[in-house]
Structure formats: structure tokens, C-alpha cells
Amino acid sequence: MHLIKLAAAGAVAFAMAAGLAPAEAKEFTGKASWYQMGKRTASGARFNPDGLSAAHRTLPFGTRLKVTNLRNGRSVQVVVNDRGPFAGGRVLDVSRGAARQLGMISSGTARVKVQIASN
């Protein structure tokens, strides 16, 4: 029972940090960018630029996300293992491998829908 309360509290905290109402905590939209710098992520994992990972400011490491490029409909599943983005107005940074699957390499950014995937 305590774990359920903690999970619910975490979802509300995430929603508040992301500026969302608690009912919307499992999905949000915004601008994403991609990156390929660094040897280690904030989680301590080795950074693989061709892997399928993401950086988010507050989501727990290990959170699985489904990211959809709203311009072309392409989607990819990524795992949060880093912190960011540090550029204003962005909600997510994805690895180069994820950006390639989303079709956003040349543009550098894309408007995306992000959904927290069930484990």
C-alpha cells in the first residue's frame, strides 16, 4: 500500500514539475533535440550515441518513454538515463540513434509527444 501511495505521489510531483495536471502526467508534448556528447550519463551509464536513450530534467532514471515525432508520425522507445535538456524551451534530449529513428537528425529538433511506457 505504501508503494502505491509513493508511486501516486511521484506522478503528481512529476506532473507539477512538468507544469501538467496530475491526470496528464503520463503524456506531454514539446520540443525535443538530440545530442551525442559525453562519455558518461548522469545515471553513471556509459553514453552510447547510437543507443536509444534520453535526457529529462526530472523523470527517474530507467523510465521508459515512447517518443513520437508529430511532424512525420515516427516513434521510438527510449530509456531515461541522463539529465537535460539544458536549452530553454525543450522537454527532452534524445540520443543520435533515437533521433535517427525519429527522422530528426537534419533538423536537430522536433515537436514530439512523449508517453511514459508501461513496464
Residue 52 belongs to domain with CATH number:
2.40.40.10
Series of mean pLDDT values for 10-residue runs along the chain (119 residues): 42 46 71 93 95 96 98 98 95 98 97 90
Cβ partners under 8 Å of residue 63, min gap 6: 56, 79, 80, 116
Among residues 96, 110, 107, the alpha carbon closest in space to that of 68 is found at: 110
| Rounded CA separation 59/47 (Å) | 18
Domain coverage including residue 59? 26-116
How confident is the model at residue 76, as a pLDDT?
98
How confident is the model at residue 43, as a pLDDT?
96
> What proportions of the chain, in percent to the nearest 5, are helix, strand and coil?
20, 35, 45
How confident is the model at residue 98, as a pLDDT?
98
Whether 4 is covered by a domain: the verdict is: no
Which residues pair with residue 40 across a beta bridge? 46
How confident is the model at residue 21, as a pLDDT?
43
How confident is the model at residue 119, as a pLDDT?
60
Which residues pair with residue 104 across a beta bridge? none
How confident is the model at residue 57, as a pLDDT?
96
How confident is the model at residue 37, as a pLDDT?
85
Whether 64 is covered by a domain: the verdict is: yes
Whether 35 is covered by a domain: the verdict is: yes
How confident is the model at residue 38, as a pLDDT?
83
DSSP state of 57: S
